[in-house]
Amino acid sequence: FEKKPPDILGDLNEEQRQAVQHEGSPLLIIAGPGAGKTRTLTHRIAYLIKQRNVSAENILAVTFTNKAAQEMKDRLKSLLDDSQPLPLAATFHALCFQILKEQGNTEYSIIDEDERKAFVSEAIRQVKERGISVELKPDALSEMISSAKQHILEPQDDLSLVALPEHEINSAFLQTVYQTYQALLEQEIRYDYDDLILNVVKLLESDEKIREAYQNRFRYIFADEYQDLNQGQYRIIKALSPSDTELCVIGDPDQSIYGFRGSDVRYFQRFVNDYQDTKVIRLTRNYRSAETILEASHQIIKAHSINPSGTRVYSNIKGIQTLSVLEAATEKAEAVAVGKTIENMIGGMGFHSIDFGKTEETGIRTDRGFSDFAVLYRTNAQSQVISDIFKDAGIPHQIANREHAYNRKGIAELISFLKVTEDAGILRDFQKIVSLPGSGIGKKTFDIFKAWFYQNTFTLDQALANVKRFPLPEMDTNRQRKFCTFVDRISEFKKNMAEKSVEEKLMFLFENTGISSMIKENVKTGEAFDDLVRTAKAFGVRTSDFFEMIVLQTNDTDTYDFNAEKVTLMTMHAAKGLEFPVVFITGCEKDYLPFKRSEDEEIDIDEERRLFYVAMTRAKDRLFLTHVKKRTVYGKTVQREISPFVADIEQRLITLEKIQAKKRKKERQVQLDLFN
């Protein structure tokens, strides 16, 4: 049997083919959800390599998540011959880190969001110590610093653009905090995520030679999800793309959902101004969703206060009973209803009067597996109750959440411990491991060490190396002795671990530090540990690459295993670009959609609407919108109303489902009768 060669053009429609074959000028592909934008992009890269003999080295594809980059590489592999090298497909963060390393900044490592917040808190503490009063919460200041960096503003710049004078945060004050924060990062030789972008923008815009070198290397540049670019990312693409670069950007203005992080859909419009000879191609045919789902989602966007972008897509996939709205009494009943529905659609057995999920007329498969289902929500906090109910019901599921993978109690300490033994730790890692039971070091001792650490502007390795040679003046001998014993223990670990692989190192620390009991305490932590060890395997002895991988997995989907036969639980944001046969959007309630944390918070209703649109258009065959009458939010039980967005969908497209939760006395489980 000879394998049929993949047909790069044959699997595309006319518009898509045109986009793949376009030559000689920048290309902008605008299209609604499911129109095959990402697919077209991938095929265009394959076409460049296979038909136009472009070298993979000259191609760069920037994606929004690592998962998307990986998927693109996998798809390319299937389109190309085995011997053909693959182009660089990476997120902006990964690309920038690579560029910075290539330019000689090899000392720096990256901190994650959690660590960033700790750095901001320390900066605030130090500013306060100097007698300056700080009223604003660390989170708010942290956001402002991030926002400044996203606008490519450094501490010495005028920061009035991001300062909030109404909260008495003027530019000068913000400069002080920002400067202190930056000094702390410098001391520990760290970049935060925003630094990666900021430094590369500065580098490319100021150094003509370096810029030209990259321009010559990346002759063909692709950017998916272009509507979610922020200023820094836009400037990087711009700097890398002189007019003769074959730049191809792809997106959908109606799906822009990251305004809160500084993205601006206007860069989409600006593209045509920047590159006057841009060819614009629109894709109009949707290959993903049943027409009812598309029609309903279009009604959501149509009600938009700003003009919809006119990227209406149409589908030939007919569906009956594709869109259901379900009301439940409480969030628990909601979770049970979702779980029951999934069970019924999988089994198809023992269901009441209606054949739920049976859509034979459409030719859509009815023998579904767990991985065909996604449960989406507006906030991560909503996942807990769903996960608990699913666990009781024995429904295999996965929560896509970076925090779940790396920040769980036990896992975080384990990673910190490994970093410290690898001379790759920061003070905060050390703090985490001295707080482990049995370290012999109390808070007082640590605080003395910390003060000394900041006074001397050491890195952690320097500090640990020096602490034994230069006794800390403030520390009494007893404390000093215990501290040195602990430091000796770390050195001992180092020696024992020197020859080991990453996986073996993790196991060694797991067994020798008491972290194992923390991890074993919780089933989910145990699973996260198994996943971590499995991931580590692929890295052999390359521990620093392992750390880099962890920190560059910035998206919730990055730590998620899409091959598992499990129901997906994720936020609406994380679902961008993905598709599932059956989608539940839970918590379709006012105050979730649009999301409102507090009374006086300003909300971007249009962006919330677009987010709802993105979530709806993930569904292929069936879409369920669920809402509850009462929900516990921030510890208080409150009455909930249905989201005003749902009212924008015409009644004729919706099947209303009523659920009644009945408690059976014998079994303690909540039993549900649907459609009574």
Give the footprint of ligand ATP on this chain (CB under 6 A): 11-13, 16, 31, 33-39, 252, 255, 287-288, 577, 579
Minimum distance of ligand ATP from residue 576's CB (angstroms)? 7
The DSSP code sequence of 347-380 is: H--S--SS-TT--GGGT------GGGEEEEESSG
Among 32, 155, 577, 594, which residue sits at the site for Mg ion (rule: CB under 5 A)? 577
Near Mg ion in 362-391, by CB under 5 A: none
155 annotated as ligand-binding: no
**Residue 567: CB partners within 8 Å, gap ≥ 6?**
342, 370, 371, 373, 374, 375, 390, 395, 396, 397, 398
Minimum distance of ligand ATP from residue 372's CB (angstroms)? 13
Residue 11 near which of Mg ion, ligand ATP, none (CB within 5-8 Å, type-dependent): ligand ATP
Q: Are 559 and 404 within 8 A, CB to CB?
A: yes
**How many C-beta atoms surround the C-beta of residue 585 within 10 A?**
28
CA–CA separation, 232 and 623 (whole Å):
36
Q: Which is nearer to ligand ATP, 224 or 246 (by Cβ)?
A: 224
473 annotated as ligand-binding: no
For 482-517, b where at least 16 C-beta lie within 10 A, e where not — what string? bbeebbeeeeebeeebeeebbbebbbbbbeebebbe
33 annotated as ligand-binding: yes
Which single residue is written with the structure tokens 């007698």? 131
Q: Which is nearer to Mg ion, 35 or 433 (by Cβ)?
A: 35
Q: Which is nearer to ligand ATP, 519 or 578 (by Cβ)?
A: 578
Q: Which is nearer to ligand ATP, 38 or 292 (by Cβ)?
A: 38
Minimum distance of ligand ATP from residue 151's CB (angstroms)? 27
Residue 556 near which of Mg ion, ligand ATP, none (CB within 5-8 Å, type-dependent): none
Minimum distance of Mg ion from residue 19's CB (angstroms)? 13
Minimum distance of ligand ATP from residue 143's CB (angstroms)? 28
CA–CA separation, 453 and 464 (whole Å):
9
For residue 401, give the H/E element and its range.
none
Closest among 584, 571, 20, 512 to 345, alpha carbons compared: 584
Minimum distance of ligand ATP from residue 575's CB (angstroms)? 9
Minimum distance of ligand ATP from residue 265's CB (angstroms)? 14
Binding residues for Mg ion, how many (CB under 5 A)?
A: 3
Residue 13 near which of Mg ion, ligand ATP, none (CB within 5-8 Å, type-dependent): ligand ATP
Per-residue binding string, Mg ion, 296-335, x by CB under 5 A, is ----------------------------------------
Residues β-bridged to residue 567:
397
Q: Is 54 helix (H, G, I), strand (E, B) or coil?
A: coil
Task: Using CB positions, name the residue nearest to ligand ATP.
Answer: 36
Residue 35 near which of ligand ATP, Mg ion, none (CB within 5-8 Å, type-dependent): ligand ATP
6 annotated as ligand-binding: no
Q: From start to end of 497-615, where are the E strands?
A: 567-571, 580-585
Q: Left, alpha or beta for 153 (phi > 0: left; psi -120 to 50: alpha)?
A: beta
Residue 12 near which of ligand ATP, Mg ion, none (CB within 5-8 Å, type-dependent): ligand ATP
Q: Are 370 and 566 within 8 A, CB to CB?
A: yes
Per-residue binding string, Mg ion, 328-367, x by CB under 5 A, is ----------------------------------------
Minimum distance of ligand ATP from residue 274's CB (angstroms)? 23
Which single residue is written with the structure tokens 């808070």? 443
Near Mg ion in 32-61, by CB under 5 A: 37-38
**How many C-beta atoms surround the C-beta of residue 115 within 10 A?**
18
Q: Which is nearer to Mg ion, 150 or 555 (by Cβ)?
A: 555
Q: From start to end of 466-594, where are the E strands?
A: 567-571, 580-585
Task: Using CB positions, name the residue nearest to Mg ion.
Answer: 38
Q: Which is nearer to Mg ion, 38 or 233 (by Cβ)?
A: 38
Minimum distance of Mg ion from residue 301's CB (angstroms)? 17
35 annotated as ligand-binding: yes
Q: Which is nearer to Mg ion, 67 or 432 (by Cβ)?
A: 67
Q: Is 306 helix (H, G, I), strand (E, B) or coil?
A: coil
Which single residue is written with the structure tokens 């700097």? 239
Between the two ends of the chain, the Cα-to-Cα distance in Å is 55
CA–CA separation, 172 and 163 (whole Å):
9
Q: Which is nearer to ligand ATP, 253 or 339 (by Cβ)?
A: 253
Sites of contact with Mg ion (CB under 5 A): 37-38, 577
Binding residues for ATP: 31-38
Binding residues: 31-38
